[in-house]
Structure 1
């Protein structure tokens, strides 16, 4: 190529310019690749964090469901206890009337059917079978102690709906 060959010089200049542009393109491509790699790493970290957040949200939802279930159970138990407390029931006491006469008094709000004394002592009247005592009513019976069979300090009583014996304190005789 000689100095007077203008198209050759123009072509050489254009080739040099293309070479410089391609070097810069490679440099920018490397930067872009590094940025893309950093972006991919950030995306991976974001996925990991999203999974952690999702797991935490799932645990939180499970805990909230368990708490709600516990609250519902507690509310149901409170309602059951309130219903039980407000349910009419018999409440007995034994009172001494005079000498050998005693009274079984129902201070409760419900009638008691088939009231039975579990302590069978020969020194007292036997309660009739199918004894029923309404709320506020009194059943009078006799109980006399002796040296061999003193008056008990407690009588155990059951009735329909009350299978567990209820101990009733027998008060001391007055006179």
Structure 2
């Protein structure tokens, strides 16, 4: 082979054609750009999927938070309503009875409460001689009703009398104070 023909031989090869070489180079560059774009596209798609998942998680968390807030508000409203009801019940006018010794064999049944006590009855009449405890009575707030009790040898004055009235179904024991003088 003669080296003088080498130059002609190299230029006669198909890849030496400038248009063909340029086309191969451009195709290679396009292939490289396409492969990188595909990788970036996959990354973008994966990032978009993660973003969608995160948005769903965030939405679920927002729903849970809203439900928790509603439950807390409902609990607060229920507690406030219970407190209002308890305060209304505590402030509701009520009768309150007590017994005081007045003189000799006379005692007083007193309504020290803020409401009228109606149909007051002594549930266990004492065995001692007593007057004024037989029938039902009513007492306005601050009002007094006198009754008598006298002890005998077999019937002492009881230490406690039990009363009921409208709204007080369970007998309420009231201490009978000792007789003074």
Please give the TM-score of this superposition, normalised by the length of structure 2: 0.80
Q: Summarize the Cα distance change of 1:148–1:35 in structure 2 as closer, same or farther, 3 Å threshold.
A: farther
Per-residue deviation at 1:55? 2.0
Corresponding position of 2:3: none
Root mean square deviation of aligned Cα? 2.5
Per-residue deviation at 1:76? 1.0
> In structure 1, which of residues 40, 45, 66 is the aligned counterpart of residue 45 of structure 2?
40
Provide the secondary structure at the position in 2 that maps to 1:143: strand
Matched, 1:115 2:120: yes
Point out the more displaced range, 126-135 or 90-99: 126-135
Per-residue deviation at 1:66? 1.2
Kindly tell me the number of residue pairs found equivalent between the two proteins. 169
Gaps of 5+ in 2: 1-7, 9-13
Per-residue deviation at 1:172? 2.1
Corresponding position of 1:170: 176
> In structure 2, which of residues 120, 141, 161 is the aligned counterpart of residue 155 of structure 1?
161
Question: How many angstroms apart in 1 are the aligned matches of 2:44 and 2:171?
Answer: 78
Matched, 1:86 2:91: yes
Please give the TM-score of this superposition, normalised by the length of structure 1: 0.83
Point out the more displaced range, 73-82 or 120-129: 120-129
Question: How many angstroms apart in 2 are the aligned matches of 1:15 and 1:125?
Answer: 136
Q: Summarize the Cα distance change of 1:48–1:97 in structure 2 as closer, same or farther, 3 Å threshold.
A: same
Provide the secondary structure at the position in 2 that maps to 1:139: strand
Corresponding position of 1:6: none
Point out the more displaced range, 121-130 or 132-141: 121-130
